[in-house]
Amino acid sequence: MRTRTYGLTLLACFCLLLFGLASVQLVGGGRYYELGLKNTIRLIPEEPYRGRILDRNQEVIVDNILSFDAVMIPQEVSDKDRVLRRLADILSMDVDEIAARYERGYLNPFTPVVIAEGVSKSVAIRLEEERLEMPGVAVELNSRRLYPFGTTAAHVIGYLGEIDRGRITRLKEYGYDIKDKVGYGGIEERLDIYMRGQKGGRQIEVDNRGRQVRLLGYKPPVPGEDVTLTIDLELQQIADGLLNGRKGAVVVMDVRTGEILVLSSAPAFDPNVFVDRRDRRAMNHYLTSEDAPLFNRAIRGQSPPGSVFKIVTAAAAMRENKKFTPAASFVCHGQMKIGNRFFKCWSTHGTQDFYAAMAHSCDIYFYELGLMAGPDQLTHTAKEFGLSEPTGIDLPREASGFIPSRIWKRLTRFEGWYDGDTANFSIGQGFVLTTPLQLARMMAVVANGGYLPTPHVTKAVAGREVPAAAAKPVRISREHLERIRTSLRFPVSQENGTARMLNIAGLDICAKTGTAQVYGEESHGWVAGFFPFKNPRYAFCVFLENAGSGSYAVILARDLFREAQKRGKMS
């Protein structure tokens, strides 16, 4: 009896299952087949509001503005040729150019294709008024990146552009996709992941032709985070203005924390050109010009430092010869025979002690110190000052510079090291290459008593302070650094000092000039230093490419600090 009951129950369940399957297949099968064949769910992404960039005083350097964009929605366009001709008339564009943009931007029938970005308000109103005559044409309100100060701090900021294939491959797993706008260079690239925000979008149902049937859901985009820089916009504008028309760089940094107040490189570029993309001539100029306006000379430009390197030579000699004192003197006759060759000084200085030699930038004196130290000590001391390696600044693609060694020359050039190499090494010529930022940091080490700060331009992200990396102590005696620090006041304070134009009342600047010879071209001009002499706060470096003399760099530095002082800065 029990077995029979179980059998009947199973049979009843089986019959119900068959009935349900028959109902689905025979009654609703056609409907479900049609839905599966014709309909699917698609996501139309919506870009977030990108985070702004502010200076240390909360002045907005980079912002976003509302942009009126003329778009075409393919599924709504009935007569494409007529619509293209009408659009060409309203937008004052060539029909073929509009057609080409439509073809390039087409993804699917329901995704709007941007024909013109940032159209004027009057054009936007006209498009809306004539919308009935142009089915499929609409005006979309989007946000657009704005660089209100043009070329100011362009190399620190970078620019925004459409993602390339290389970045899509590398960043796809982080949510980046084709047609995304990403940062190129500067903070726009370095902190892109924070500023870009999170995409939102509409979830829609479409038919077999890709046409929208209904809206299923909406997820609002999450705005990106604002970034605060250590840059002082007002000082940056002064430096950029003084560099305008020249090739070079200016760096001003805090000697204790490594905060960068000014990081200027010239020639510069206007990031708005890459956002607007209508000025093809300007874009091509930036990308192909021999002046390399996209090249950040402050952190990537590698050049011989000339006499600014004499700071390293002095420290190396003091480390190698413990008996050396600033009273030690040598006689400058204008030239000195080393090996079979005469090495010249730029003048004839007579008897010079350490302080006088630093004031006059006497090459003969530093040839003697370089030979006293030897090439190995010069190499080791230069690296103690952070040369021959990136400083670690939070900007992309920093150069490392180069400091030679005897082993390097033997392995790469298959030559021995000669005293003449040491002589060139000791005055920052020969194989030595440095960046302006590296020399500013070297001056910070002298100013702060022996600590290598990590330069940085990011102060806060989304209002949260970004902690600075701890400064690293260098293995150079504080006594030796104090001697060098004292000596750097002489080029400014002495009547015949090479940096005497920097003797600005109230600032007590310490500095060293450099004129670096370049084969077949005019010499580079350098000046680097720190101030004030007591309790130093700022280190700086000014570099002018092919200026002919370091005096031109001194003049620029003088004009920068006088103007800064006038405006109540750096006092």
| Domain harbouring 274, CATH code | 3.40.710.10
Same domain? 190 vs 223: yes
**Domain final residue, candidates 188, 205, 229:** 229
CATH code of the domain containing 92? 3.90.1310.10
Q: Is 500 among the domain residues?
A: yes
Q: Is 35 among the domain residues?
A: no
Q: What total number of domains does the chain contain?
A: 2
Task: Please list, in sequence order, all residues whose beta carbon lies within 8 angstroms of the beta carbon of residue 36, skipping any fewer than 6 positions away.
Answer: none
Q: Is 443 among the domain residues?
A: yes
SS (H, E, C) 110-160: CCCEEEEEEECHHHHHHHHHCHHHCCCEEEEEEEEEECCCCCCCHHHHCEE
Is the pLDDT higher at 496 or at 12?
496
Model pTM above 0.85: yes
Q: Of 339, 423, 435, 349, which is closest to residue 389 (Cα–Cα)?
A: 435
**Domain final residue, candidates 229, 245, 278:** 229
Which amino acid type is present at position 329?
S
Same domain? 166 vs 239: no
Q: Provide the sign of the torsion angle of the four alpha carbons 287, 292, 296, 301, taken in this order.
A: positive
Question: Poorest-confidence range of 276-285, 338-347, 540-549?
Answer: 276-285
Same domain? 219 vs 252: no
Task: Cite the DSSP H helix spans in 147-271.
Answer: 154-157, 165-171, 186-190, 192-195, 233-243
Hey, which residues does 141 pair with through a beta bridge?
68
How would you class 519 by CB atoms within 10 Å of its CB: exposed for 0-12, middle for 13-18, buried for 19 or more?
exposed
Same domain? 298 vs 404: yes
Same domain? 325 vs 460: yes
How many C-beta neighbours within 10 Å does residue 451 have?
Answer: 16
**Domain final residue, candidates 204, 229, 254:** 229
The conformation of residue 60, written as its DSSP 8-state character, comes to: E
Same domain? 74 vs 102: yes
Pull the structure tokens for residue 17: 């299952």
Same domain? 250 vs 356: yes
Q: What is the pLDDT of residues 444-458, one digit of tens each?
A: 999 999 999 999 999
**Residue 327 — very low, low, confident or very high, per pLDDT cuts 50/70/90?**
very high
Averaged pLDDT of the chain: 90
Q: What is the pLDDT of residues 45-58, one digit of tens each?
A: 777 899 999 999 99
Q: Which domain holds residue 438?
A: 233-566
3-state secondary structure of 500: helix
Same domain? 292 vs 421: yes
C-alpha 551, offset from chain centre: 28
Same domain? 374 vs 471: yes
Q: Is 29 among the domain residues?
A: no
Q: What is the reported pLDDT for 37?
A: 46
Q: Is 298 among the domain residues?
A: yes
Q: What is the pLDDT of residues 231-275, one digit of tens each?
A: 999 999 999 999 998 999 999 999 999 999 999 999 999 999 998
Q: Is 331 among the domain residues?
A: yes
Q: What is the largest CA-CA distance in the chain?
A: 129
Is residue 551 within 8 A of residue 542, CB to CB? The reply is: no
Q: Is 18 among the domain residues?
A: no
Same domain? 416 vs 439: yes
Q: What is the dihedral of CA 183, 455, 319, 315, to 10 degrees?
A: 90
- For 59, 69, 105, 108, the CA distances from 182, given in Å and listed in that order, are 23, 19, 18, 23
Q: What is the pLDDT of residues 461-474, one digit of tens each?
A: 999 999 989 999 99
Same domain? 493 vs 434: yes
Which amino acid type is present at position 182?
V
Q: Is 571 among the domain residues?
A: no
Same domain? 199 vs 242: no
